[in-house]
Structure 1
Amino acid sequence: EDNSNRSFLLYIDESEEQDQRIMGYQRLATAGKVDEEKEHQARELLRNVQRVLKPIKVINPFAEYLELPQSVFKPRRTNSHYLQFINAITFYKQYQREKQYNKETGEEYIETTIEDIQEANELITEVLLRKSDTITGACRNYLEELKKYLTKENQTTFTAIEIRKRLKVKKTTQWRYHKQLLENYYIKTVQIKGEKLYRYEVINPNEYKELEEAISKSLQECITKINCSTVPNRSTSKTERLTKTKATN
């Protein structure tokens, strides 16, 4: 738990769609239909981009307008990660930014643009969503696959053995998942008259989507505040400069 609060965790995509994509790639590779030269060029491009980057200070003139959603756990640490993530995007775009100099010290620096923040928000939404979750990533994946199954089968309740067979989950693993889901009120047990087996029911099938929408709304509100504010002497992105030039012409 402590490491999860100190880091941005990335989770493996264990969906059936991802399985199909991976197996499809493996088949193409075995059949000799993958362009290996193109893959090599992509790797080299990434390496070369990193080689040409130079140390330079990044200043974010919009930082005071950036607030995390209230649903995020450990907001103090996550806030620092969020700001550093935006700085990293600006840093990678250093050749697209106007270089500026501190009037007192002469130190060279570049500034974050609204465009950088918007890109950061797009990339970080899933991470913030996970950091706002009360269950583990593996348990969340199980719950979302369970919801898909119930929707597809037009069911509102299910048995443990039914889902084990469908999702191919071990009994002990499922027991751990159900323990988390019951303790955090994501599912509840229901007794159907005439049945010996306990059935379960998802309490709110839309809770994760609602949480995602709340996070996206919160991040967008920050952008709205920035657009309504006046930040003096801010740097402009390459796109903004081109747009301004076209408007003048």
Structure 2
Amino acid sequence: VPQILRKHHAAQRLLQPVLIVNPFASYLDFPTALVRTRRDHERFVDLIAVVCFLRQYQKERKQSREASSGEELQYIECDLTDYEVAYRIMVGGVLSSTFAELPHSLVRLYEELRLMFCRQAKTSDLKPTEVTLTAREIRRQVNWVGGEAVKKYLRKLTDYEYLQMAQGGRRGMRNSYRLVADEPIERLDCSMIPTPEAIASRLQAEGVQPGQTVHVLRQGKKSG
């Protein structure tokens, strides 16, 4: 282990401060109205840039002139390989571990709620995400756990942003809820992140070349 650590430290000392251009930010369709997903969006964008920074010696150093100051800037650009690595880390590691930490009873309640919303949607000719259910209606239909536990789980599902409080509630009633998305709970986080294949197809369809669309400009920092 000490030998491995020495190799890692030596590799870190080789990394140089460099500007990183990340053109992928606008292609990530995280719901920005939700605090948790907005935070995950920022983490994923940063993760792509970190992978790019670590791969800096596999990249061409490019130059651009800063519009306001006229200063000549040298930078490297995030590519699809950076995106693929970051995607595997985010989906296979960060988000999947979040799902694994959820209590089984919380996941069970969420899936029952999805069925309730879907049944109500069919009878009301609405989408499941347009249906509103009150806490009282939910407690009345859930019979495998007590009312106080249901209240606690609803609060947790709202905190995790799998449910959202309905504005004003249906028929003026308080404590009403809506689904954020009609998806299994284990897919909710991952479905927000386009796969590398989807990103590649979108770039090709739009005719975007690397470096044409720049959305995020970060200062790479030396590690170690």
Q: TM-score, normalised by structure 2?
A: 0.49
Q: Which one has the bigger helix percentage?
A: 1
Higher relative contact order (CA 8 A, sep 6+): 2
Q: TM-score, normalised by structure 1?
A: 0.45
Q: Which one has the bigger strand percentage?
A: 2
